[in-house]
Structure 1
Amino acid sequence: MAGILRSAAPPGVRTPSLPRGESIRRRIRVSAELRETPSPTSSVEVQAEPPPSPKISPPPGFKQPEPKRFSVRPDKFLDILGASLALPFRLATGVFVQGYSVSFVSQDSIPSDQYAMGIAGLKLKETSKLGPRPEKPIEIYEFEGCPFCRKVREIVSILDLDVLYYPCPRNGPNFRPKVLQMGGKKQFPYMVDSNTGVAMYESDDIIKYLVDKYGDGTIPMMLSLGLLTTLTEGFAMIGRMGKGSSYSPAKLPSMPLELWAYEPSPFCKIVREVLVELELPHLLHSCARGSPKRQELYEKVGHFQVPYLEDPNTGVKMFESAEIVDYLRATYAS
């Protein structure tokens, strides 16, 4: 299914229309007016209103945590363990970007200002072959606990796309109704690409569209096995059954949060679950192995580690999944 849109942004949420790599800081309020009969081909009229919403404050006593590589806070050990089950079930699908290749080189051959992982006195030189880049982030309405949505998140990771996610947990008051208005049914995932005017349901159709438009046209094997793909996607979520599926009352931010992450990472997953449960729109900067955005984050903060959260509503920028989860609940949960 396809539809022509100017914007699919829900009322009260300011969304980006910026090139990739440019931070979301543009404050616009969008209100949508649909045609009399909602359908998958509805066009949407947009109205901009400049006044900003009141700024949300970080929780009292909040302190930026220091990044710690490969460490798990003791109270999150079982969460990370459960989230890690996806890796064997999905054979690490989404860990590497399209056209990934790696070679071992001496430490001296990699400049100090370039991101590279070190192993046994050597450096990993990682490269990739990416397709055309969308000018504006693709928008996807979905939720964490859905196996069909996970399929689409995996191809997003492989294609190294930036995506503006509108979480649609069960009983969510904001974005589930909006999908019904735009497309005519409550079905997920639902994708809107304002670069081409295309909107569609059906995970397999979305995957085919994305690889044709922003990849090399090839669907990865683990995403092309039909029922087996869907079954293994479901098995991948056994360790986190029900997480990231149901709405918890929360304040809706005026601007989307920004998250640097990639789908197969268990540390990123527990953060995404909370973003979905609190129905917090967020721009995902996908950065699987081989992604050039790893270098972008390295230059930005002098360190690469995910997840990394930037909240333009409070000015908070932070690493560490467990602390990010605490921050999100303390700041946005009602």
Structure 2
Amino acid sequence: MIKRSLEVGTSVLASTLAAWRGTMTQRPAERLPQKPLELYEFEACPHCRLVREALTELDLDALIYPCPKGGKRFRSRVQTLGGKQQYPFLVDPNTGARLYEAADIVAYLGKTYGGPVRKPQGLRRRLVLAGSMAATAARSWRGPRGLSMRASKAPKKPLELYSFESSPYSRLARETLCELELPYLLRNTGKARMSDMGPPSFRDRLFKGPKDTSRNRKALHERTGQVQVPYLIDPNTGVEMYESEAIVGYLDRTYAG
């Protein structure tokens, strides 16, 4: 119980230090890519976090290829595609674009898909990056989470995760997916209205608002009858589940080792 409380508490702290960016999807992208964007990154990387925040805010999904330190599955692919191992690395199969540098990727996403995000510059860029670095430090109480590779069995098909970047519970699931080098389709499920704020039981009782306020919140509600993240779908086993603790346990039992 103490370990679990520390995991959740430090994840909440990480979101707070990052100013809860990557929570809201109030002004989604005007256009959706026909094919999923491909993002090579690792969860603990402060620069990668900035791209994931933008993806949530733009309501864009992405196929995540985790590249933790020591990773063997996807790091060589980044070298082949881009010429160097640097993260984040975005591949857009819709346009052929391949980009390094978080600020450039964020600017590209806004320009290409018509979103409101802009490339952070000057003092704002330094403050945003400092907050992201502090968020990584907050998740290092027993070694940086989402940083280093752990041995695992590769799935035949990518998994699927409904999540939004600042969600403290979703972060726990994403860290495990990253450490185990498990590719997954990230279904960004950002909050679109103030009635979406708060834990599901509190939110639904207090606000009694619609649950389908954004594209993926609607899809999740249609699939399960509720909106709560993280929600994991594993097409390799047919398993679908809520609750970060259960998801982390499932991933370790099924793929670790």
Q: Match for residue 87 of structure 1?
A: 15
CA distance in 1, matches of 2:123, 2:80: 30
Contact 1:143-1:245 within 8 A present in 2 as well = yes
CA distance in 2, matches of 1:156, 1:281: 17
- Give a deviation string over 1:123-171, Cα, whole Å, max 9, x none: xxxxxx5421111110000001100000000001100111000000011
Instruction: Quote the RMSD (CA, aligned, Å).
Output: 1.8
Q: 1:98: Cα distance to partner?
A: 3.7
Structure 1 residue 249 corresponds to structure 2 residue 136: no
* TM-score, structure 2 normalization: 0.86
Q: 1:132 aligns with which of 31, 35, 39?
A: 31
Distance change >3 Å, CA 278–CA 158, structure 1 → 2: same
Q: Secondary structure at the match of 2:240?
A: strand
Q: Match for residue 97 of structure 2?
A: 198
Q: 1:238: Cα distance to partner?
A: 2.0
- Give a deviation string over 1:197-222, Cα, whole Å, max 9, x none: 11111111100000111233542879
Q: 1:88: Cα distance to partner?
A: 2.4
Q: Match for residue 176 of structure 1?
A: 75
Structure 1 residue 280 corresponds to structure 2 residue 182: yes
CA distance in 2, matches of 1:223, 1:134: 30
Distance change >3 Å, CA 130–CA 182, structure 1 → 2: closer
Distance change >3 Å, CA 257–CA 202, structure 1 → 2: same
Q: 1:228: Cα distance to partner?
A: 1.8
CA distance in 1, matches of 2:122, 2:133: 13
Distance change >3 Å, CA 225–CA 249, structure 1 → 2: same
CA distance in 2, matches of 1:167, 1:98: 27
Distance change >3 Å, CA 271–CA 215, structure 1 → 2: same
Structure 1 residue 261 corresponds to structure 2 residue 163: yes
Q: Match for residue 241 of structure 2?
A: 318
Distance change >3 Å, CA 305–CA 223, structure 1 → 2: farther
Unaligned runs of 5+ in 1: 1-72, 100-128
CA distance in 2, matches of 1:78, 1:297: 29
Q: Match for residue 49 of structure 2?
A: 150
CA distance in 2, matches of 1:223, 1:322: 39
CA distance in 2, matches of 1:146, 1:300: 32
* Higher Rg of the two aligned structures: 1
Q: Match for residue 85 of structure 2?
A: 186
Q: Secondary structure at the match of 1:259?
A: strand
- Give a deviation string over 1:210-237, Cα, whole Å, max 9, x none: 0111233542879982222211110112
Q: Match for residue 225 of structure 1?
A: 124
Contact 1:208-1:217 within 8 A present in 2 as well = no
- Give a deviation string over 1:166-205, Cα, whole Å, max 9, x none: 0000111111111111111010000000011111111111
Q: Match for residue 215 of structure 2?
A: 292
Structure 1 residue 240 corresponds to structure 2 residue 240: no
CA distance in 1, matches of 2:122, 2:227: 28
Q: 1:86: Cα distance to partner?
A: 2.5
Q: Secondary structure at the match of 1:235?
A: helix
* TM-score, structure 1 normalization: 0.67
Q: Match for residue 306 of structure 1?
A: 229
CA distance in 2, matches of 1:187, 1:130: 26
CA distance in 1, matches of 2:44, 2:114: 26
Q: Secondary structure at the match of 2:124?
A: coil
Q: How many residues align?
A: 233
Q: 1:76: Cα distance to partner?
A: 1.6
More divergent stretch after superposition (265-274 vs 284-293): 284-293
CA distance in 2, matches of 1:221, 1:173: 32
Contact 2:44-2:146 within 8 A present in 1 as well = yes
Identity of aligned residues (%): 43
Matched to 2:98, the amino acid is A
